[in-house]
Amino acid sequence: MTYPISGSPAPPEAVTPLVRGLAVLRALSEADGRQRVADLVRGTGLARATVDRLLGTLAFLGYVRLQGGDAILTPRLMELGNGYLASSRIPDLLGPLADDLADDLDESVSLAVPDRDGVRFVYQATRRRAMPLAFRIGDLVPAEMGAPGPLFAIDWGDEDWAGWRSRREADPGDVALRAAPGGGSGSAASFEQRTAAARRDGWSLDDQLIEPGLVAVAVPVYDMARRCVCAVGVVSHTGRHSAAFLREAMPPRLRRTAAAMEKLLHAEPAGAATSARADEAEREPSMPRTDQAKREPSMPRTDQAKREPGPEFVESLARGLTVITAFERGGAEMSLAAVAEATGLARATARRSLITLTHLGYVTSEGRLFRLTPRVLDLGFAHLSGLTLPEITQPHLASLAEQVHDSASMAILAGDDIQYVARVPTVRIMSVNITLGTRFPAYATSMGRVLLAGLPDAERAAYLERVTLKPLAPHTITSPARLGEVLDRADRDGFALVEDELEEGLRSISVPVRDRTGTVVSAVNVSMHVRRRTMEQTLDTVLPALRAAAARIESDFWVAGRYAAIPVA
């Protein structure tokens, strides 16, 4: 598939580098987040030198990683989608009500928004089952293939229907909409009838249209102007409920939830709500002083980029992307003056960026106010929201191992053990042989002690009371009281160091990785033979590098986990 720079002639004020940079990001997104640079050149039709400059700028901003001949999207790119989701207020304001409904029904509940002639999922409250039912946040499916689509199509005009028919004729198999798994045949032919039924009934049913066995029912949620801003739906499968059951039982429950959602939307001013949540999102979690000082900023803003642009840095691309992220704090709708103030850009520069983003469909305007559209989620959000913490961590471990020339790993607590979930080994004649999934007793490892130190006091006390401390090496701690003191120190200092306790001759140093609330969810370490360097050298050279790597992991994890549920293993 090729990626044209734009589908229609750009206005004279459009910022060409911004148009091109977004084309590169879309191409990478359609390639599941990774593509050869040479293929990007062919796909976008841009010159190799232009693509190299754009990728270099995106790499400087932290949105792309260049590895060999590949360009790879990074979790930091999700800042753009977070800007839309925060400004829309839907996940923050309505998500808790979706969670309550999912708990009440013991079924998955979704929130979806209209996006051109498609449906974009922006929130999921899923149930833990052998066959989980969920789309990734940001997934786009054809309007005719789900329950929310007919609800949104009620408001379509002739031009919208004509665009939908053109899309169906050009792509009858929905190849371009990759989130659609190729559902029920004949769904397009019945779409107009389903829309008419939705207008009459006030709800819509998906009877195995998206996928065999999947059934769903949805109702609309309106703003004060009676515009359908989203749809709330219950998703199940035929092994649990029939479509007939959902049709009879769910609309009343959904209508009550929708009414509660509308009450929230009508009661809370958009700007105030978004601003308050953005302020909360930017507050630091409760962290030890040693780690708090090491946290890096989420991305270089325009004023930072100006200080060291380099000859190949495309400043106009960076400025345009900063405009998108400004909406996370600025609110659902922003004036030109507000965008200029939030980004630190001149009004003329902000205006050109907004014109460009509007031309490309990422921004829409009404009067003098601008707002982001769900199309921003096309920029890699769905793919990146499917990453796990170990996948986010792996490139940072690779950089750390290259820097210190020793193995680097990540582990989580698994009962009273640690379990390795990510690892980059070093190549040596004598090295530590550990594979993913390996488990060790937590008490005898540096990662285990960091993880135990991060437990609530009651859980840590219960662990110390029940654990049997067996000697595994000459210096293994076997006294619960002594281990408790070591855990207190690890909690206070923000790191743990173990030598000759798991195995003679092995030294390991670890630091915690925390989620957005400050809870320790995993640990990262560097392990080495004791003859590799002295204890002082380990503390002076390895520990700072380890802390910096953990800060980068946390920064990516926090961005990715703002609206997506990122598994820690």
Note the Cα 86 to chain centre separation in Å. Answer: 13
DSSP string, 443-512: GGSHHHHHHHHTS-HHHHHHHHHH------STT----HHHHHHHHHHHHHHT-EEEESSSSTTEEEEEEE
Within a domain: residue 197? yes
Neighbours of 10 (CB within 10 A): 15
- pTM of the full predicted structure? 0.88
Q: What is the pLDDT of residue 296?
A: 36
| Residue 243 pLDDT grade (very low, low, confident, very high; cuts 50, 70, 90) | confident
Within a domain: residue 34? yes
* Neighbouring residues of 427: CB distance < 8 A, sequence distance ≥ 6: none
Whether residues 336 and 357 share a domain: the answer is: yes
Within a domain: residue 456? yes
pLDDT of 111 higher than 70:
yes
| Residue 39 pLDDT grade (very low, low, confident, very high; cuts 50, 70, 90) | very high
pLDDT of 567 higher than 80:
yes
For the chain, what is the domain count?
3
Whether residues 225 and 115 share a domain: the answer is: yes
> Distance of CA 135 to CAs 211, 227, 239, Å?
12, 24, 19
Query: Considering 325, 353, 385, which residue would you say is the last residue of a domain?
Result: 385
Within a domain: residue 372? yes
The answer to whether 551 touches 288, Cβ cutoff 8 Å, is no
Average pLDDT estimate for 432-440: 82
Whether residues 94 and 67 share a domain: the answer is: no
Residue-wise pLDDT for 483-498, tens only, equals 999 999 999 999 999 9
**Distance between CA 274 and CA 268 in Å, rounded?**
10
Whether residues 413 and 522 share a domain: the answer is: yes
Residue-wise pLDDT for 87-105, tens only, equals 999 999 999 999 999 999 9
The answer to whether 557 touches 524, Cβ cutoff 8 Å, is no
Angle between helices 347-360 and 315-330 (to 10 degrees): 90
- Report which DSSP code applies to 250: H
Tokens 């980059």 correspond to 424
Average pLDDT estimate for 68-94: 96
pLDDT of 35 higher than 90:
yes
Whether residues 380 and 503 share a domain: the answer is: no
The answer to whether 20 touches 54, Cβ cutoff 8 Å, is yes
pLDDT of 250 higher than 60:
yes
To the nearest whole number, what is the mean pLDDT of the chain?
A: 87
Note the Cα 64 to chain centre separation in Å. Answer: 15
- The pair of structure tokens assigned to 365 is 């305007």
Q: What is the pLDDT of residue 399?
A: 96
Span of 304-308, 431-435, 538-542 with lowest mean pLDDT:
304-308
Check residue 548 and give left, alpha or beta (phi > 0: left; psi -120 to 50: alpha): alpha
User: Mapping DSSP to helix (H, G, I), strand (E, B) and coil, where does residue 252 land?
Assistant: helix
Whether residues 261 and 297 share a domain: the answer is: no
- The CATH number given to whatever domain includes residue 303 is 1.10.10.10
| Residue 185 pLDDT grade (very low, low, confident, very high; cuts 50, 70, 90) | very low
- The pair of structure tokens assigned to 41 is 């050149």
Within a domain: residue 128? yes
Within a domain: residue 11? no
Higher-confidence residue of 132 and 527: namely 527
The answer to whether 564 touches 414, Cβ cutoff 8 Å, is no
Whether residues 437 and 531 share a domain: the answer is: yes
User: Mapping DSSP to helix (H, G, I), strand (E, B) and coil, where does residue 353 land?
Assistant: helix
**Distance between CA 205 and CA 462 in Å, rounded?**
50
- The CATH number given to whatever domain includes residue 501 is 3.30.450.40
Higher-confidence residue of 130 and 47: namely 47
Within a domain: residue 566? no
Whether residues 447 and 535 share a domain: the answer is: yes
Whether residues 28 and 48 share a domain: the answer is: yes
Whether residues 123 and 238 share a domain: the answer is: yes
Average pLDDT estimate for 267-283: 49
Residue-wise pLDDT for 317-368, tens only, equals 999 999 999 999 888 899 999 999 999 999 999 999 999 999 999 999 999 9
Within a domain: residue 202? yes
Query: Considering 210, 242, 267, which residue would you say is the last residue of a domain?
Result: 267
**Domain range for 247:** 90-267
Whether residues 106 and 216 share a domain: the answer is: yes
Note the Cα 20 to chain centre separation in Å. Answer: 24
* HSE-up (13 A, CA, CB side) for residue 443: 24
Q: What is the pLDDT of residue 409?
A: 96
Whether residues 306 and 255 share a domain: the answer is: no
Contacts for 156-164 with beta carbons within 8 Å, 24 or more apart? 156/195, 160/117, 163/116, 163/117, 164/117, 164/191
Query: Considering 346, 368, 385, which residue would you say is the last residue of a domain?
Result: 385
